[in-house]
Amino acid sequence: MTQALRLGIAGLGTVGIGVVKIIRRHADLLETRTGRPIEITAVCARDPNKDRGVSLRDFAWETDPIALAQRDDIDVYVELMGGENGPAKASVEAALASGKDVVTANKALLAIHGQELAEKAEAAGRVIRFEAAVAGGIPVIKSLTEGLAGNEITRVMGVMNGTCNYILTRMQSQRQGYNALFDECAELGYLEADPNLDVGGIDAAHKLALLSSIAFGTKPNFDGIQIEGIQQISLDDIDQAEDMGYRIKLLGVAQRTARGLEQRMQPCLVPSDSPLGQLEGGTNMVVIEGDAIEQVVLRGPGAGEGPTASAVMGDVCDLARGLRISTFGRPATSLEAASPAVTGLPAPYYLRLGLLDKPGALAKVAAILGDAGVSIDRMRQYAHTESTAPVLIVTHKTTRATLDHALSGLSGTDVVAGTPVALRIEQV
C-alpha cells in the first residue's frame, strides 16, 4: 500500500475545521485522485476541549505550533493561524528546517516575508503552497503558475476582498450608507479583528503583492503598493457613478510599465456592464491578461469555510501527487527586486465637487483644470442642496500627479466646498 501523506494542521478555526471535514468526507475520492491516502496525524490549537462541531479525538494534540511543525510523523505542515510574524512565521521556518513542505492560507506572512521563506524552502528542498491565501476558492495561483505559464502576463487586476464588495454593492442595492453597512458587517462577523485590514484595503493588498510577484517575476513588494480604502465613498458617489455608467469597486491592479511596476489597491470606477461591474456581494473576481490568452476572468467565493478549505486541499493534493513548484512560480533566487512606478499610467478620472452658488463658479473650475493640463470629457451638474451643487466631471486620460496639482489649485479657490473626491476609472 502506498504510504499516506500525513498532515499536521496548526489552527482549528473556520478553515482548519473545513479541511478536517473535507478529508473525512472525501477520503476515498482523495486517494483515488492522488494515488495515496491523505490523513491528519496531529493538530495544534490553544484549547483542546473547545467544541468545534467535529470530533478531533483521533489526532495527536500540540499546543505549540513549533512542536507540531517538528513532529516526525507529519510530512506537510498546514499553517492556518494567520499573522505576519509570531508563531506563524516561527513555525513555518521550523517546518522547513525539519524537512516538511508547507501549505498556508496566510497572505500577510507571505506578502511581508515571502522572499525570505521561499529562499529557505528552496535551500531545504521543500515547497510552500498558498492557493488559499488569495481569493478563497478561486484557483488563481494555479492558473498563473501552471495554466498560463506560456504567457507573458501584462496585467492582473481584481476584486479580492469580499467584505468591501459586499459593502459597496449593498450601498447601491439597499440605499444604505457606509457607516450602517460597516456596523452590519461587524455584526455578521465579516470583518477582521482589525477592521482596517478589510475596509482600508490592506488585506486585499497582501493578496495583490503575491499575484504581482508570480505574474511579473519580482520579489513580493507589499510596501510598493499604493493603498486606499473605501471609507470615503458616499452614497452620492455610488449614485452618481451609476448615473454615468459606472460602478465603484475596491480594485487591485498590477502591471509592468515603462515607469516600473505599478501596484495599486484603491476604489476605482469600472463600466457597469463589465464583468467586474456586475460582481455582487462577497464574491471575488480576478482578471488576468496575457499576450497569448488576451484576458481570462476567474470568479468565485473569496472566503468562508468551504471555499478556503477547498483551496488548501488543492495544494495538499498536488503534494500528494508529487507536483512541486517553486513558491512564486520560479526559483526564488531568480526573482528581481521590484522597481515601483513613480507615477501610474494615465487614466480618466471621476471628480465630484461641491460647487458654491456663486456667479462664474463652474467656469473657474474648468479654467483651473485646464491650466493644470486636465481635459474634461464629460460634466454634469445636479440641483443645489442648500448653498452647494454637486458637480461631476469625467476627465480625459491624465496622471494622478497632474490631477493632484489641479485639485490643489481648486482647494485654493472660493467656489469649491469641502474636499473633492477623485476616483480613477479603470479600463477593463
| pLDDT, tens digit, 9 for 90 and up, residues 4-20 | 999 999 999 999 999 99
Amino acid identity of 208? L
Which residue matches cell numbers 485646464?
A: 370
pLDDT above 90: residue 325: yes
Among 60, 61, 120, 124, which Cα is nearest to 90's?
Answer: 120
pLDDT above 80: residue 37: yes
Question: How far apart are the C-alpha atoms of 181 and 40, rounded to whole Å?
Answer: 40
**With 0-12 CB in 10 A as exposed, 13-18 as middle and 19+ as buried, what is 151?**
middle
Question: How far apart are the C-alpha atoms of 364 and 84, rounded to whole Å?
Answer: 49
**What's the pLDDT at 381?**
82
**With 0-12 CB in 10 A as exposed, 13-18 as middle and 19+ as buried, what is 231?**
middle
Question: How far apart are the C-alpha atoms of 226 and 131, rounded to whole Å?
Answer: 24
| Per-position DSSP letters for 404-422, written without gaps between them | HHHHHHHHTSSSEEEEEEE
Question: How far apart are the C-alpha atoms of 133 and 327, rounded to whole Å?
Answer: 13
- Residue 426: all three cell numbers together: 479603470
Compute the average pLDDT of residues 368-383: 89
Provide the annotated active-site residues: 207
pLDDT above 80: residue 384: no
**With 0-12 CB in 10 A as exposed, 13-18 as middle and 19+ as buried, what is 40?**
buried
> Where residue 342 falls among pLDDT bands split at 50, 70, 90?
confident
Sort strands 76-79 and 60-62 into parallel, antiparallel or unpaired: unpaired
Residues 210/133, Cβ–Cβ less than 8 Å = yes
Residue 365 vs residues 92, 186, 388, 392, 408: alpha-carbon distances, Å? 56, 40, 14, 11, 12
pTM given for the model: 0.93
Residue 326 φ/ψ, nearest 5 degrees = -55, 150
Question: How far apart are the C-alpha atoms of 80 and 316, rounded to whole Å?
Answer: 13
